[in-house]
A and B are shown apart, each in its own frame.
Chain A
Amino acid sequence: MIATLIDYGAGNVTSVARALRRLGAEVRTTNQPEELTTATCLILPGVGHCAALLSSLDAHGLRHPLLTAISRGTPFLGICLGLQALYQSSAEAPTLSGLGLLHGRVDQLPQNVKLPHMGWNQLRLLRDCRLLAEISSDAYFYFAHSYAAPTDGPATAATCEHGREFTAILETERIFGVQFHPEKSGTAGAKLLDNFLRLAA
């Protein structure tokens, strides 16, 4: 299995690559448009500021090839900001357009709780979730974010709560996203990445 990691300059590309290699995957990291078009499976890791991700995708000319690859059915996993980027817009970067594959806007979590939402939290399953196959329903995953996606779309498969409920896992036929960091979530996170690789194979 060759996993193509989109390297837009985020800090967690190395840890995601390392986690995938531990699972036996061959990993290519790239910011070249043509490599997205030919990829068999795409992962967009993200951490930091949403504007940095979106503007970097555009600066490298990656937006169009990424959307084309996804529309052709290339399995895709967005991690943290990589999930948020799938929506139409984000309040963190109001002047930029998201990838727009999912309806709705990413908004800041409420101020009545400590932000960032940082640490290990559990999920609430809304339906059967292929990414969570063989993972205990009370498993914890590591989160580090202040903005989060709405829960009302049909793609939302699991939610988490911090101040309000938000999308923790989204799943369509070929598009997947996780708000937490599977590469930092111990054995449960490794199993989730393994599940994605199997689904993408």
Chain B
Amino acid sequence: MSLAHRIIPCLDTDGSRVVKGVHFEGLRDAGDPVELAARYNDEGADELVVLDIAAARDNRPTFLETIRRVAEQLSIPLSAGGGIRSLEDARSVVRAGADKVTLNTAAVERPELISELSHEFGAQAVVLAIDAKRENEFWHVRVRGGRIATDWNALDWAQRGVEMGAGEILLTSVDRDGTQSGFDIALTATISRGVCVPVIASGGAKLPKHFFEVFTEGAADAALAASIFHDQVQSIRALKSFLQSHGVEVRLPC
């Protein structure tokens, strides 16, 4: 009896449709978020993340409606984010049905936002999303979809975010994202062992062994992927069976 490692599909949306593309280039339609959410809920996903990667101001009502329709389908937890810049933005996302709010760029620009959300909704509802890129022997934090470099060392920023009240870290390797060459194990282990909150690894997943590596060597508490699930390259059920047969604790769907 112990806490299961979570498998989390991620729906990157333009507000209303799921889209995919490497580094925000050549976006193409990858499906209806509501249909995908229902499928993942039934296939044994442990949680779902829905992001508005366009995060355009005038697009908010559309994205909130998407959250509402996705939440209707789920009997598992839902995180939502993309373009959350204020407590009021976060409230509207929670009211629409999200259990957790993910913060990224706005938290780097104004770290107090993390505390404000944590105070209002509890630390368990605040996910700090960190996009990290390797530079020599360290990883540095990037913002605005991984395009803009910052001065933050990724581990320092993760620890600072937890101090401010984040209850979870969603850690994406900018180097691995979209490559399907496996998670960045060294990055994940560094952050996961350096903070006292759960860490979700993201970026680079393709094969079941990638998940096995990130849960063991990488010390991840959860792992996130998008296109391999959308394109049915990998089924959640088969992935979990593989992990269980290799001694990784997972929740097998009944």
On A, residues with C-beta under 8 Å from B are: 11-12, 14-15, 18-19, 47-49, 111, 114-124, 136, 139-140, 142, 144-146, 160-162, 181, 183-190
On B, residues with C-beta under 8 Å from A are: 1-6, 41, 46, 71-72, 74-77, 94-95, 97, 99, 119-125, 167-168, 196-198, 221-222, 251, 253-254
| B198 CB contacts on chain A under 8 angstroms | 114, 116, 118-119
**Complex: chain A residue closest to B44, CB-CB:** A186
Main secondary structure of the interface of A (DSSP, over half): mixed
For residue A116, give the distance in angstroms from its CB to the closest CB of chain B: 4
| B5 CB contacts on chain A under 8 angstroms | 119
| B4 CB contacts on chain A under 8 angstroms | 119-121, 140
Q: Is the CB of A122 within 8 A of B1?
A: yes
With contacts A114-B197, A184-B99, A187-B254 known, is A11 near B2, CB below 8 A?
Answer: no
How far apart sit A124 and B221, CA to CA, in the bound complex (Å)?
22
How far apart sit A187 and B75, CA to CA, in the bound complex (Å)?
8
Q: Is the CB of A118 within 8 A of B167?
A: yes
**Complex: chain B residue closest to A184, CB-CB:** B77
With contacts A114-B198, A115-B197, A120-B251 known, is A144 near B77, CB below 8 A?
Answer: yes
With contacts A121-B2, A184-B99 known, is A18 near B72, CB below 8 A?
Answer: yes
For residue B48, give the distance in angstroms from its CB to the closest CB of chain A: 11
For residue A137, give the distance in angstroms from its CB to the closest CB of chain B: 11
| A188 CB contacts on chain B under 8 angstroms | 254
Question: What are 16 pairs between A and B in contact, CB < 8 Å?
Answer: A12-B99, A14-B95, A49-B119, A115-B196, A115-B197, A119-B4, A121-B1, A124-B1, A145-B124, A146-B123, A146-B124, A162-B3, A186-B76, A187-B75, A188-B254, A190-B75
Q: Is the CB of A118 within 8 A of B168?
A: yes
How far apart sit A15 and B125, CA to CA, in the bound complex (Å)?
14
| A161 CB contacts on chain B under 8 angstroms | 1-2
Most B CB atoms within 10 A — which of A120, A146, A187, A188?
A: A120
Q: Is the CB of B197 within 8 A of A15?
A: no
| A47 CB contacts on chain B under 8 angstroms | 99, 121-122, 124-125
How far apart sit A50 and B95, CA to CA, in the bound complex (Å)?
20
How far apart sit A123 and B71, CA to CA, in the bound complex (Å)?
26
How far apart sit A151 and B69, CA to CA, in the bound complex (Å)?
39
| A183 CB contacts on chain B under 8 angstroms | 75
**Complex: chain B residue closest to A116, CB-CB:** B124
How far apart sit A187 and B251, CA to CA, in the bound complex (Å)?
12
| B99 CB contacts on chain A under 8 angstroms | 11-12, 15, 47, 144, 184
Q: Is the CB of A121 within 8 A of B254?
A: no
**Complex: chain B residue closest to A19, CB-CB:** B75
| A48 CB contacts on chain B under 8 angstroms | 120-122, 124-125
For residue A196, give the distance in angstroms from its CB to the closest CB of chain B: 16
| A118 CB contacts on chain B under 8 angstroms | 124, 167-168, 198, 221
Q: Is the CB of B94 within 8 A of A11?
A: yes
Q: Is the CB of A189 within 8 A of B75?
A: yes
How far apart sit A14 and B99, CA to CA, in the bound complex (Å)?
10
Q: Is the CB of B254 within 8 A of A117?
A: no
What 20 new A-B contacts, CB under 8 Å, besides A115-B196, A144-B124? A11-B94, A14-B97, A15-B97, A18-B71, A48-B122, A48-B125, A116-B124, A119-B5, A119-B46, A120-B4, A120-B6, A121-B3, A136-B254, A139-B254, A181-B77, A184-B74, A184-B75, A185-B76, A186-B75, A186-B76
How far apart sit A120 and B253, CA to CA, in the bound complex (Å)?
12
**Complex: chain B residue closest to A136, CB-CB:** B254
| B6 CB contacts on chain A under 8 angstroms | 119-120
For residue A25, give the distance in angstroms from its CB to the closest CB of chain B: 15
Q: Is the CB of B3 within 8 A of A117?
A: yes
Q: Is the CB of B75 within 8 A of A119?
A: no
| A123 CB contacts on chain B under 8 angstroms | 1
Q: Is the CB of A142 within 8 A of B77?
A: yes
How far apart sit A15 and B8, CA to CA, in the bound complex (Å)?
19
How far apart sit A124 and B1, CA to CA, in the bound complex (Å)?
8
